[in-house]
């Protein structure tokens, strides 16, 4: 008879029928050991160790993630399923068609996943409602909505991360409602002749003005984009190149684990590229991992990317954080208009750690305390 093949294409022989009499075998082994002990000849050879019997906390669905435009047939859904299935975990993708129903079911307590990963609350208000409703019902939400504004809004995270001693571009913060003004002489000396003016709660480059003189007129023009936000006037940082790429990284933190990718923003195009162990060594990038750890320790945010420019300076000033904490990281590996595809190997890294984390919550196991660094 032909051997059955497993998913890796390896053939596994059919087990002999007798080997499947598990119950009988263990009772037999137990009796034999007892008898040997009674007659004064104990059998101390190793025995089979089985997993402790802890009953999992059962739910209708184990893991849920929200991305407004995502089809159930997309590659990302498939990757989540591939990662969760070996752990026996079910997943529910939430998109624009089921978000209202899912919010209702969460609010009624009818749906109570162990983990909800939010990838859409900043672009779609219903996903914001979902994150808040899930967190209020005790679902573990990544990232927890209560932590977010403080840390994802650049004006408040700038102040906190500066206090924590992280290397940030010198910045002047103009709070909402404050008048447009010329910079003082001391401020001008700190910012220099070319600056970046950007909104605190911005994302996807919206409202960011790069490379202008920090004058009252430029500040006013930039702030007209959104007068309801705080604004930063920042020294413009220049980064070098690493081979044929801009020396600009995205450092990732996910539940204690870390990864790095190149962020290649050139000629009006954004691109992610995998970063290798050889790159780490060749360009001496280990200090970037330390920066990720320090941002994670200061903020306590579970899953974020931080943008790190590598300047031509030597020593500790070589790395500068440009955009401090981005939640709702891009995770879609497919090319679509208006999104930036992410390398699949990195997406698998994220899905794998989320599966391990969800399984531990489900089975009341302590979380994995080890910190890993994953590159290609």
Contact 302, 143 (CB under 8 A): yes
Residue 273 in the binding site for ligand ATP (CB under 6 A) = no
Q: Measured at CB, which residue is nearest to ligand ATP?
A: 323
User: Taking CB within 5 to 8 Å according to partner kind, which of Mg ion, ligand ATP, none is near residue 180?
Assistant: none
Assess contact for 298 and 292: CB atoms under 8 A: no
Binding partner of 208, given ligand ATP, Mg ion, none, CB within 5-8 angstroms per partner class: ligand ATP
Give me 111's structure tokens. Answer: 């749906």
Q: Which of residues 61-100 bind Mg ion (CB under 5 A)?
A: none
Residue 323, interface with Mg ion (CB under 5 A)?
A: yes
Interface residue with ligand ATP, options 237, 255, 264, 345 (CB under 6 A):
237
DSSP string, 169-236: --EEEE-TTPPP-PPPHHHHHHH-SSEEEEETT--TTTT-EEEE---HHHHHHHHTT-TTS-EEEEEP
List the single partner that 237 binds among Mg ion, ligand ATP, none, CB under 5 to 8 Å by kind. ligand ATP
Least spacing, CB of residue 205 vs ligand ATP, in Å: 5
User: How far apart, in whole angstroms, are the C-alpha atoms of residue 191 and residue 212?
Assistant: 11
Q: Are strands 115-118 and 63-66 parallel, antiparallel or unpaired?
A: parallel
Q: Which is nearer to Mg ion, 323 or 332 (CB)?
A: 323
Q: Which does 345 bind (CB under 5 to 8 A by kind): Mg ion, ligand ATP, none?
A: none
The closest alpha carbon to 102, from 74, 124, 73, belongs to 124
CA distance 329 to 35: 61
Closest distance of CB 308 from Mg ion, Å: 11
The interface mask with ligand ATP, positions 98-117, x = CB under 6 A, is --------------------
Q: Where are the alpha helices (DSSP H) in 97-164?
A: 99-107, 125-136, 145-152, 154-163
Per-residue binding string, ligand ATP, 188-227, x by CB under 6 A, is --------x-x---xxxxx-x-x-----------------
Q: Which is nearer to Mg ion, 131 or 322 (CB)?
A: 322
HSE-up (13 A, CA, CB side) for residue 365: 16
Residues at the interface with Mg ion (CB under 5 A): 323
Residues at the interface with ligand ATP (CB under 6 A): 169, 196, 198, 202-206, 208, 210, 234, 236-237, 265, 307, 322-323, 326
């Amino acid at each position: 008879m032909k051997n059955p093949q497993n998913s890796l294409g390896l053939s596994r022989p059919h087990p002999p029928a007798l080997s499947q009499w598990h119950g009988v075998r263990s009772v037999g082994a137990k009796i034999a050991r007892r008898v040997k002990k009674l007659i004064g000849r104990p059998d101390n050879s190793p025995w089979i160790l089985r997993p402790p019997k802890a009953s999992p906390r059962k739910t209708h669905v184990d893991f849920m993630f929200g991305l407004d435009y995502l089809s159930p047939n997309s590659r990302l859904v498939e990757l989540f399923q591939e990662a969760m299935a070996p752990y026996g975990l079910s997943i529910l993708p939430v998109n624009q068609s089921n978000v209202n129903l899912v919010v209702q079911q969460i609010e009624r307590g009818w749906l109570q996943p162990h983990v909800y990963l939010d990838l859409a609350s900043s672009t779609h208000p219903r996903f914001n409602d979902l994150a808040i409703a899930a967190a209020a019902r005790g679902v573990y939400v990544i990232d927890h909505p209560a932590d977010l504004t403080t840390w994802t809004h650049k004006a408040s995270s700038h102040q906190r991360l500066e206090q924590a001693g992280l290397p940030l571009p010198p910045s002047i913060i103009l709070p909402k409602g404050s008048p447009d003004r010329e910079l003082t002489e001391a401020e001008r000396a700190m910012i220099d002749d070319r600056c970046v003016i950007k909104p605190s709660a911005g994302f996807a480059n919206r409202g960011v003005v790069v490379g202008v003189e920090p004058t009252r007129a430029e500040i006013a023009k930039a702030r007209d984009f959104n007068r309801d936000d705080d604004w930063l006037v920042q020294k413009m940082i220049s980064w070098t190149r690493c081979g044929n790429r801009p020396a600009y990284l995205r450092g990732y933190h996910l539940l204690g684990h870390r990864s790095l990718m190149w962020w290649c923003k050139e000629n009006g195009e954004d691109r992610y590229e995998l970063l290798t162990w050889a790159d780490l060594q060749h360009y001496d990038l280990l200090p970037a991992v330390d920066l990720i750890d320090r941002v994670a320790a200061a903020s306590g945010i579970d899953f974020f990317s931080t943008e790190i420019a590598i300047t031509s300076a030597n020593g500790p000033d070589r790395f500068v954080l440009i955009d401090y904490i981005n939640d709702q990281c891009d995770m879609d590996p497919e090319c679509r208009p208006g999104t930036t595809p992410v390398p699949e190997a990195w997406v698998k890294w994220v899905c794998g750690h989320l599966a391990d984390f969800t399984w531990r919550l489900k089975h009341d196991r302590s979380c994995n305390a080890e910190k890993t660094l994953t590159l290609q």
